[in-house]
Structures are given as C-alpha cells and as structure tokens.
Structure 1
Amino acid sequence: MNDSNIIYKVDGFRFINSLHTTARQLPICSEIIKQLSNKQLPKDILFQLMVKWSIQEESINDKYKNSKGKLTQNGKATTAFKNYLDLCESLKLVIRLNDFYASSRLSFVLKYFMEHNDDNFSKAEKIFYLLQLFLVDSDGILYVLDEINTSSLNQKALQVNFKDNFNLRLVTKQILATPIVKNSINERYRTINYVWQNPEKYAEHLLIPRCEWLTTLGILDIKKNGSSTIYSFTSNGRVFFEKLPVLSNSKLKDINEIWIFQNFFSIINFLYPGNNTISFKDMDPKQKINELGFSLDNALKVVKTSNSFKIPLFDCLVFICIDLFSSKNIIIEMSDVLDMLKAGITYGLKSFNLKHEGRLNESYIISEII
C-alpha cells in the first residue's frame, strides 16, 4: 500500500451536524440554485417557487412523486423546505442574510454544469456534489460506507450500530489529529454520549439522508425487502470505495485536504469511468497548456468574480477539473493545475498566474492581456 492510500495526519473533522431525515434529494438542492439564479430572494418567495416546482414535478415525474423527502405531498407543502435550505447552506451553495437567500459564488460553477448537460442529474453534477461532500462531510459519508462495507445493512441495523461504531471512528481519528481537530472530535464525542438522550433515534436523521445521497451519486444501491430498506454497494461504488485511503492506525477510510487535491479525480474515474480517458500527467507540455488554457479561458466566463482579471482560485480549480473530466475525459487533479499556475501559463493573448495568499479561499488566479 503506497502513501497515497494511507492517511498519517488527520487535518479535519468534516461532518454536517444539522441534518433531517427529509433532506434526502440532492436534485432539490440543484433546483433551489436554479430558482435563486442571480437573485436575492426572501425565504417566503423562494418557498412559493419551490412548492410550485414540486407540484409540477409530482404531476409529470412518477419517480419524484413516489419518492421520500419531497417538498409537497399530493399538492400540499411538506415541512422539508427548511431542511433543504439548511443542507444547501452546509454544502456552501447558498448564503443567508437575515431571511433572504442568495446563491454562493461556488454555486455558479454547479449552475453552469446543470445548464450545459442534457441529463437530469449529469455526471458533472454528481462529481460536484461528491467533491463538496468530501470537503464538508467526509466523516459522515465515509462512516456510512465503512459500515456497509462489512455487509449489506438495513436502516434499523445502521441506526442500532451508530453510537458504538461512530465512537470508534472518533477515538481512532483523535490519535492522529492536530490539537484543534482533537477539540472538534471531543465535542462530537461529548454530544453523542452525554447530550443525546436517544442516539439511535438521532442516527436516523444523520444516516438515512447520507445513504440517499450516496445512492443518487451511484455509490450505493437501495433495495426493498418487505418493510426493510437494504443498502449495498453498486459495482462501481465498490471499486471506488476500495481505492479510498485508510487511517494509518486502522482500516477505517478517511481523507485529508492533501489527498483531495492530489488524488480525488483519479479515484472518481473508477466511479464514473469514461471512454478513452487520458491522464493530464501523461500529456506533452503543449497539450497541457492548450487544454488548461482553454478551460481557464472558459472559467473567466463561469466563475463569479467582482474583477474579471482576478478569479477565485478554489472555484476555478473545481470548474477546470470537473469540466475537463466530464467533457474531455481528461483526468486532472487540482494539484496539477496549481503546479502549472505556479510557473505561469500563456494561452492565446492571455497570461494566467497564481496569487497565493496562504489560505485557499483568499487566493486568486490573475489573468492579464499580453
């Protein structure tokens, strides 16, 4: 096992704390982004727009009509809307200002992929959500996958096992964690063991939405067996899971930021394999500049910025890697893009250079006419 498959340093505890069992459908988050678009809307207006959309979906889409976690049931609003807004906030897709909501800067990247794919929930959308879930919720996602790796499990078994098995994950990670991360892990341990009165009941809200997301993303499969719901890996999901790294002191799956930047898209290729994929690393220098330069040029039109010559780095990295993977079958890691930008890229009549500020969310790509 090489070092890219082992996590020696735990750099974060990534877990969406506030979840409700109704927030199961990622496509509803996408629809919220569509409705917001470039607007800033009061919560009540956004609610009305989403209810109208849901009623329409119930009338034309049998799959949606028969699903759980809907915004309406037989034309009447459910209580799920608030929970989807909370999920969108956790995924950093929307910004709340008092009772007004607006799209986040990153959501414009998602919006582009929604508008430029004919599929209802395209490969590009799936990759976007999985990347974002790994960044903000990898401990929740990987916990579920570790549990189902042992054997196909029903909802009841997942809930019953949660307290003991999630405690094991927390204790195992704590040993390798930085002091700040240790505090986050300790707080979660305290909440589960001393604050929650009924961990099994709370677990329903934490586990079931994640199982549904993973099914939408093609990693898990859901089957009904009488009154039971059984979760298991898809064939591609199984391969994807086996390629994920483990903690150095256990067999538990985990990731850190370095792994995401250096390995995420190579592993994604096992989940969403394309035809005749090519690794960016195997291209000749001229090819690299042409492909990356073309995608950077597109990013200028897609990534939201207040200065057309100063592009937010992270949003741009997400756009380029998903764009090249989904449209051209090029496997490129975010670290590959960073390495090229550090040296500077000239494409057409533009130059692109990295302005690194230490923190990723404060770093930019500078575009200049030459």
Structure 2
Amino acid sequence: MKRMIAISHQIPRVIAIFFIIFLLYGSSAHIVQPCLTFRANPFAPERELYVIAGQSNAVGLASIEGEKNKSISYPNVKIYGVYGYHTELHGMDDALQSKSHHTYWPSHAAWHTAQPGFGYKNAEPPSVVNYFGPELKIAELLSNQTPHDHYIVKLAVAGTGLAYTPAEDNWNPSSGRLFNQLMTMISDAYNSRKNSAKLRVSGLLLVQGETDSLNWESAKNYETNMNRFINAFRDQVYARGCSNSRDIPVVLAKIQNNPVWIYREQVRLAQERLSRDLALVKLVETDDFTTEKDGVHFNMHGQMHLGEKAYSHLALSKISQRKSHLKHETQL
C-alpha cells in the first residue's frame, strides 16, 4: 500500500517530464525517455553513474596494441557505450560523417565489462578492440572502491565542437542531436538496470574544446556555450529523474597549449574562468600529457593521466558536495 502511494506521488512529475520532452523534441525521430524511477525496484541499492563525453580525446585513440598485457578488464565496473567493431559505424566516428549519415549512437550502445574497446570506431577490426579513452583508468580506480559494482556511460564523437555547425554533429544543447543522444543513453543505462541498481548521475567528464579553437567565432563564444551546456546537462539530467541533485560535479579537460589549436588562448582562458566561477566545475591540466605521433591525441600514458586526474577531481568534488549538503541540512 505504501509503495502504491509513493508511486502515485511520482506520477504527476513523470507526466510533466514526458510533456516537456514532447514539446521540446516531439518532432524528432527519437524521443528521449526519462529515468523511470517509478518503475524501479524500491529495494535496489543506489549506485553512482559517471558520464564521459566529448570529442576525440574522450573517444580515445590510445591503444594497448603492442603491450605485453592485453587482458585488461575490470569485471566489477560496467560501461554503457559502443564497444568493439560495428560495420555500420565504421567511418562514422567523425563530426561530419556522423551528422550526414544521421548516425544514432544509442542504438549501438549496451552494457559491457570495462576494458579496452570503447575507443575510436574508425579503426579496422580486430584492432578496434584495443582502443580506449579515459574510461579505462577511471574504471581501474573505481574497481578498488566500495561498493563493489560501478557504472559508466560514454558517448564521444571525434571532431565534435560545442558551437552549433549545421553540417556537423556538435554538443550544442540547442541543436539537439548529440546532446539528446547522450540524455537517451543515460536514461537507457538507468532503465536497463532499474531492477538491480538505482543509478544516479554523479559526475561528468567532458573532453572538448579543440575543435572550437580552430574557429574565431567558436573560440570567442566558447565560455558562453560551455556555460549553457553545463547548465543544460544538469537541468535535463535532474528533470528526467536521473540524479538526486542538480549539483552534478563536472570535470573539463583543458586543451593543450599546442599551436595546432589556433585560437587556443580564448578557449583555455574560458575553461579557466568556468572552473573558477561555476560551482563544482574542475579543470584537468593536460599540457604535460604525452600524445601519439600526430601530436594531438593522447597516447596510452596520456589517457591514463587524464583518467587519473579526472577521477581525483570527481572524488574531491563529491566530498565537497557532501559537506555542502550536510551544512545545509544542519542550518535547517
């Protein structure tokens, strides 16, 4: 009886969420579902869900190929993302191709054990399963923590910017596509696990900014666009019932001081200001990260450093967040 009453109290909120989603995205081919908390197992344990998004250094062009130990896996950490080789996705890991071919990444996502293989999708088989991004080190660090099961969602596409570009996929919330697909994957991750765990979005690692540094207008507007993205991410995740609080910690990876990124100073300064001015936003310095021969994509060691520093920031933000909530409750 108590459960029925609890569910009845949640129904108006769920209806409101569906109505808002219909108004915003009703004309699109794919409707973003909320996290269906009212259908969840009330006895399922609450677990943290970390989100990784961005462009190629979030995708990951680092590879374990050539390493002696290729059997890296963390059985108690699960990643909801696109794993391994998909014929229809080959060549689509690119902002222009992803948009022009109307690639719908969530339809290829599933739960897998944390391991290499969630990286660059344009690689040829069988080497595609050797590629990885920051998720591998984050998974390693999570695997040693209690409780014993941990969860990550990952969606990243190479070359994607934050500014709206009509011919290319981008992360601008107003343009919808990738932002909505990320929301879909978060909801799908929750809903597919709702009987065994109540997943709560507890942090976002966003590795993004290089593409915007190649265009003056995009670089100039980067701070405004990133501010909007962070606010939209927090608002939408919370409104869809996928987090306990709107105050979701965010970690940004600072773009390297590399002359390839023409207007890098504008983007780097914007990232510094955002991490200083916005609550629970931290910045990972990457200038000392090693890269592949192309000089722009982090190699195995660079990706490990990125994952380690991002995890450290998320852990510290979580402690700060708990102290803030405790202080607020004490004052009530």
Check whether TM > 0.5: no
Question: Normalization by structure 1: what TM-score?
Answer: 0.27
Question: Normalization by structure 2: what TM-score?
Answer: 0.29
- Structure with more of its chain in helix, by fraction: 1
Task: Flag the structure with larger Rg.
Answer: 1
